[in-house]
Structure 1
């Protein structure tokens, strides 16, 4: 075999390798990339402000697991309160397992429970709510 054949074989192997890499990259699952990245980036300052509002507030939100359920405990809320918002289970490595639940509390209650049945792995629990016209935000990582 002369040197011309060797160059052709090396070139052919390189082309086959590049085509294989192209096919692999097209089949790659990119859940860690959000669809509307730029819009979310612009809204991120609102989330930072809401987190600072919670840090400066006279009350707190506690997120914990009790008997297989996620329990939200709103400590020291004002006596007359109407909390509206949502709780999002965000799983960074699998977008299909994300869930959003509205915050629904009984009258004169400061807690809410959400079943975590069927959820496993690491989640970021993102609590976003409004109270008396002001936005609040808390994020906590949990392993379910």
Structure 2
């Protein structure tokens, strides 16, 4: 049987479409390929973006800012000595962009000016740190990206 060029083009197109359909179905149904959003309620989060920018600007306007550093066995968040540690309230959120299941939050409760987050709970790689805190009735937001080895 002889196949003309028109039939071979149709066969090639059907094979290509079958491959694409197989690939899309495999990626959508397999748990190995994660396609989650970073934030669950994206649009609600986006609507509050103006408030977030005000809190970031409040943090930028501080003369002495909190310092987030990567030390040997922990992540250190050090507030300036001008702040009264017990009056600082808020939370530190650690986001792992590659895996939502590793995200967690730590409340800010200080007796000294330093908050330590042990590295034993952190997997190596990129971590986004969002520190939402309040001092003297004013809201602040500090964002930092660190890489754990």
1:92 matches 2:97: yes
Q: Which runs of 5+ in 2 are unaligned?
A: none
Measured in 2, the distance between the counterparts of 1:80 and 1:90 equals: 25
Q: In 1, are the aligned partners of 2:89 and 2:134 still within 8 Å (CA)?
A: yes
Measured in 1, the distance between the counterparts of 2:85 and 2:15 equals: 73
Report 1 or 2 for greater relative contact order, CA contacts < 8 Å, sequence distance ≥ 6.
Answer: 1
Q: Which runs of 5+ in 1 are unaligned?
A: none
Please show how residues 98-109 of structure 1 align to structure 2 within 5 Å: 98-106=103-111, 109=112
1:2 matches 2:3: yes
Q: Could you report, residue by residue, the CA deviation over 1:93-125 in whole angstroms, capped at 9, with x for unpaired residues?
A: 11111111101111xx21111112142111111
TM-score, L = length of structure 2: 0.82
Q: In 2, are the aligned partners of 1:32 and 1:93 still within 8 Å (CA)?
A: no
Q: In 1, are the aligned partners of 2:38 and 2:100 still within 8 Å (CA)?
A: no
Measured in 1, the distance between the counterparts of 2:38 and 2:86 equals: 37
Match of 1:112? 115
TM-score, L = length of structure 1: 0.85
For these two proteins, the number of residue pairs brought into alignment is 142
- Any runs of at least 4 consecutive aligned residues in structure 1 with deviations exceeding 6 A, and if so which? none
